[in-house]
Chain A
Amino acid sequence: MEIELSEEKDFMIFKITGRLDTTTSDQLEREIKDHMTDKTKNVILDFENLNYISSAGLRVVLMLAKTINEKKGKFFLTALTPDVYQVFEISGFLNILKVKSSTKEVLDT
């Protein structure tokens, strides 16, 4: 798994490539902890290149979402592949998280 970090228009963007599973989710959790400051309010998880996510990955996503929610910030998931989308759907996460087709779409609005 690779994580590409960028900041654009008040958003901190984590672009994840590869798999987000039991072995790799800790890495994402650490990365988020390391880079997010008290000021960080808005976050985008760009899943364009993510082809696998298991419940361990969902856990990290959910925790991040909760943190942002407490800060009254904005949180988006973007560019979900069909498999990943289905996992989010089954998990019921689509009801509580905002999903956009691309990061660009979020930034443009």
Chain B
Amino acid sequence: MLLKTRLIISSVIGYLLLASALITNEIHNQEKILKTLQYDTLDSLQELWEEITSNDSEQLSREAELISKNIYLIPELKTGNQQKIDTKLINILGTKFKSNPLHWIAIFNHQGSLIYFSENLRLTNNFIPSTIISGFFKNHPHSPSGIAESLTQHQSIIGGHFISKANKPAFLVLSGFYIEHPIKEMSTASNDTVLLFDAKGKIIYQISDIKNHHLDPKTFLMKKVFELKKIDQETYHIYSWPLKLNNHNFFAQLLLLSNGSVFHSQIKSSLYTSIILGIFITLLITFSLSYILTRAMSPLDFVIRILNALIKGDTDVKMITYKKDDEIGSVIHAAESLRKKTIEVQNLEVQKKDLIKIREQLNIARSIQSSIVTGQPLNYPTFQVAGFMRAATEVGGDFYDYFKTEDNKLILMIGDVSGKGVPAAIFMSMTISYLKAHLKANLSISESLEKTNNLLIEKNNYQFFVTVFVCVIDLKNNVMTYSNAGHNPPLINTKKSAVEFLKMTGDMALGVIANVDYKEKTHKLYPGESLLLYTDGLTEAVNIRQEQYGEERLTTFFKSGQYLTPATHLEYIIHDIDLFSDSMDQFDDMTGVIFAIELDSPLDISLTLSMHMNDSLQNLSAFIKKHATFFEPFESKIAHIEIALEELIVNTIKYGANEVKYKNELIYLNFKCYKKNKLIITLIDKVKAFNPLERRKPDLDEHLANRKVGGLGIHLARELSEDFNYTYENSMNKTTLVFSK
């Protein structure tokens, strides 16, 4: 369904809801008015009645007295001469009706005969015919017993006129007795007369001789009333009483404003009007809304066209001008923004292609850089050297280099440019080129550094600086001359003691200030010793907890890998750093160079065995048998190696098998053989931390009867191996065993 159709429908529904609410409200209001009116009418009647009845009792008794006196004014009543009374009454009535109907009371017996008549009444506001009549019957000695009660019970008093007060309708028409003559009978009587009174008691219509009209008096009467008052049947209650005076029939009529149902019909008609009006307005609204909406939404067609064009990539679509600041305006504005954005995106696509080209060139730059920086390991019987570099970004700021000179010297250098990326790399290659050129030109280290420093400062627009360590090793006597421009000191694995830092010269990094005098120092190296040059990317490698790898651990691993060739040794260290950092991205380049003297053609082989928790230990024996050549140098120790491993594996299984979550864990065994005379075995498992070094040594001097059965395994493993170590990191137990030939 289209948006505008939906809008129109919802508006119309909304209007209808509103209209029905208003109509309901109107009905409610009308009913309220009606009720008020009704109550008003009844209330005023009630009020009047109460006023009348509460009036002066003296007055009433005087009235009663008067009545009782007046009754004798009709002597015929006393004598019971019906004929005479009737004649008199007719005479009286004949004149009274024509003149003033308010000053008489006639009392009829149940047969319609006049039993009392008084014309001498003062009809005041507190005149109450029923009271008077009641009083009359109570006081009159000739009244039939119980007639007063009968008057009240049957409401048989009828008024000859209305009493009015302040123009409010009251009641009573004509005094008389209630008679039960059927109307039909009445209507057939001769000289039928009909009297109509208005609300104030005035005769408004009078007709005699109803018979001649061939009408039922009541129907006729009603018809007449309607004609006169132009009101419907429900408006009034019409009480009619047929009266017979001698041979004359009268109808006394009481018209009372009824229960206000006139308002019902009025409401009904106003409701119909409202509904018709409602339908009309609804139609009007429907048409006008659809017109307005169609007009208002026509700019959206443009928007749709624009969007379709943009989808196809056509950004040359013409925009319409729409100046109104409304929703449509916003949509058009958004479409225009989208068009601009699309143009931007198209431009970006072009830029992206350019970027890809740049990246390709960067990769070329990187390979050029690595060709500058990295070199193949040199393996001579008397010395070996190897380097390693891993850049944190595509192009790094670290460098190293080593080369042999014609006069049997080896030059090693390592450096770290402040900053990374292409600018750092360019600065780095400048440094390397200058330095190398000077060193190759047989300048001393000190001179080379100084000249390089000055040259770098000349071109250093970006305020880079570079730390550099350079050394020249005389391969004839293994004396190393070195100089340090702000670089971290290299480590030496000395024969006599542990690893130590090379004594530093403590000079400024290159590129900071001109004309620095770089001092030189010398150090003699001995066979079996090795030297590690590195950048702080190694020691400052971090793990997920932001802990640094640190010098201490580097020192340990530099020491423990001393039997390895420099290339393998570097790999061994980097592997440990990777294990430590657990594949965390590093922010700094990592670079290292190892130089070792007189490693006699070392053989490095590495074997790995992984075992399941439920694998048989025979796998281990089988593995050793299978790699007999590998283990051949350690033949004499093979039983000890196997016992130590068995103890450790059994121990791990004992711990691991206890918990279901470790059931599928593996135990890794790595065997490394160095120089055919050292075997380093590393066991790694991921079961819960267990440090065998913390296990108490069994008491070996305990007497047989008291000797404990357990705790021997770890003791055996520690005792049988030459070196035994344990670390726990990255949720892994790592036990290292060393065996010698």
A residues in contact (CB < 8 Å) with B: 21-23, 51-56, 58-59, 62-63, 65-66, 69-70, 83, 86-87, 90-92, 95-97
Contacts and interface: CB of A to CB of B under 8 A. Distances in A.
A52 B650 contact: no
A92 B715 CA distance: 11
Given A21-B646, A56-B650, A66-B705, A90 B698 contact: no
A90 B715 contact: yes
Given A92-B700, A92-B701, A95-B700, A62 B709 contact: yes
A81 to B, nearest CB: 9
Given A21-B646, A23-B618, A96 B707 contact: yes
A90 B701 contact: no
A58 B647 CA distance: 12
B651 to A, nearest CB: 10
Given A59-B712, A69-B704, A97-B704, 7 more contacts: A53-B643, A54-B713, A62-B707, A63-B709, A86-B640, A91-B698, A96-B703
A95 B710 CA distance: 17
A22 B639 contact: no
A91 B715 CA distance: 8
Contacts of A51: 639
Interface of B is mostly: helix
Interface in B687-707: 698, 700-705, 707
Contacts of B647: 54-55
- Contact-residue bracket for chain B: 20 to 34
A59 B643 contact: no
Nearest to B700: A92
A91 B618 contact: no
A23 B617 contact: yes
A65 B617 contact: no
A34 B616 CA distance: 26
Contact of B719 (A58, A83, A90, A95): A90
A66 to B, nearest CB: 6
Contacts of A83: 639-640
Nearest to B699: A92
A70 B720 CA distance: 32
A59 B650 CA distance: 14
B704 A65 contact: yes
A53 B713 CA distance: 11
Interface of B: 616-618, 639-640, 642-643, 646-647, 650, 698, 700-705, 707, 709-710, 712-713, 715-716, 719-720
A97 B705 CA distance: 11
A69 B705 contact: yes
B452 to A, nearest CB: 60
A55 B701 contact: no
A53 B712 CA distance: 12
A25 to B, nearest CB: 11
Contacts of B719: 90
Contacts of A70: 705
5 contacts: A21-B617, A22-B650, A54-B650, A55-B713, A83-B640
B431 to A, nearest CB: 57
Q: Please give me the 6 A-B residue pairs with the lowest Cβ-Cβ distance, nearest first.
A: A92-B700, A55-B713, A96-B704, A55-B712, A83-B639, A90-B719
B719 to A, nearest CB: 4
B639 A91 contact: no
Nearest to A68: B704
A54 B707 CA distance: 17
Contacts of B716: 54-55, 87, 90-91
A91 B639 CA distance: 16
B617 A91 contact: no
Contacts of A56: 650
Contacts of A55: 647, 650, 712-713, 716
Contacts of B640: 83, 86
A87 B709 contact: no
A55 B712 CA distance: 6
A69 B713 CA distance: 24
Given A23-B618, A54-B643, A87-B643, A66 B704 contact: yes
Nearest to A90: B719
A22 B617 CA distance: 8
A90 B650 contact: no
A1 B131 CA distance: 142
A64 to B, nearest CB: 11
A59 B709 contact: yes
A97 to B, nearest CB: 7
A11 to B, nearest CB: 19
B616 A23 contact: yes
A52 B701 contact: no
Contacts of B700: 91-92, 95
Contacts of B618: 23
A54 B709 CA distance: 13
B405 to A, nearest CB: 53
Contact of B642 (A52, A59, A92): A52
A97 B646 CA distance: 24
Nearest to B697: A92
A1 B640 CA distance: 18
B639 to A, nearest CB: 4
Of B650, B702, B703, the most chain A CB neighbours within 10 A belong to B650
A97 B616 CA distance: 31
A95 B704 CA distance: 9
